[in-house]
């Protein structure tokens, strides 16, 4: 994958800020190089489902993307990818990455669901 330019990453941030403004939540910037867990079926084009929550230490965020409406895959079924690889794997998820911990989304053609799930904060 070609290296993403600062301009592209800046546009990602602006798109994320716009989504956060729509849902009246604070934008959370993801650091470059952050790893995310991505199920293999996301690349096949199934609607991505996202889950974000604080790490146990509270210093970073976790992201899990799975295709369709399946539960989070079991151990070993998630690929650890750098967040920048989502441009290739699941570009539809990028605008939602700035949602704060506890927020979820489901994106499919003609559909966008975004909601807060307090249970994610206990993970």
Average pLDDT, the chain: 76
Q: Is residue 34 part of a domain?
A: yes
pLDDT tens digits for 16-26?
999 999 999 99
Cα 100–chain centre separation: 10
Which pLDDT belongs to residue 25?
95
Is residue 62 within 8 Å of 52, Cβ to Cβ? Answer: yes
Of the pLDDT bands very low, low, confident and very high (cuts 50, 70, 90), residue 64 is confident
Cα→Cα distances 48→55, 84, 122, Å: 21, 16, 22
Structural domain harbouring 72: 6-122
- Residues 71-96 have a mean pLDDT of 79
Is 51 contained in some domain?
yes
Q: Is residue 49 part of a domain?
A: yes
Q: Is the pLDDT of residue 84 over 90?
A: no
Q: How many separate domains does the chain show?
A: 1
Residue 1 lies in a domain: no
Residues forming beta bridges with residue 99, ordered by sequence position:
none
| Residue 59: pLDDT band with limits 50, 70, 90 | very low
Indicate if the pLDDT at residue 45 is higher than 60.
yes
At 80, phi and psi to the nearest 5? -85, 110
pLDDT of residue 67: 75
Q: Is residue 13 situated within a structural domain?
A: yes
3-state secondary structure of 3: coil
Q: Report pTM.
A: 0.78
Is residue 98 one of the residues assigned to a domain?
yes
């Amino acid at each position: 994958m070609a290296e993403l330019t600062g301009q592209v990453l800046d546009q990602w941030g602006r798109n994320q800020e716009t989504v956060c403004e729509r849902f009246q939540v604070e934008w959370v910037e993801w650091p470059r190089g952050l790893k995310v867990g991505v199920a293999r079926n996301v690349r096949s084009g199934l609607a991505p489902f996202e889950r974000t929550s604080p790490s146990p230490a509270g210093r970073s965020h976790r992201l899990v993307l799975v295709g369709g409406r399946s539960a989070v895959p079991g151990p070993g079924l998630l690929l650890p990818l750098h967040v920048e690889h989502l441009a290739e794997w699941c570009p539809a998820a990028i605008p939602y990455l700035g949602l704060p911990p506890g927020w979820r989304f489901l994106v499919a053609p003609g559909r966008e669901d975004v909601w807060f799930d307090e249970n994610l904060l206990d993970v």
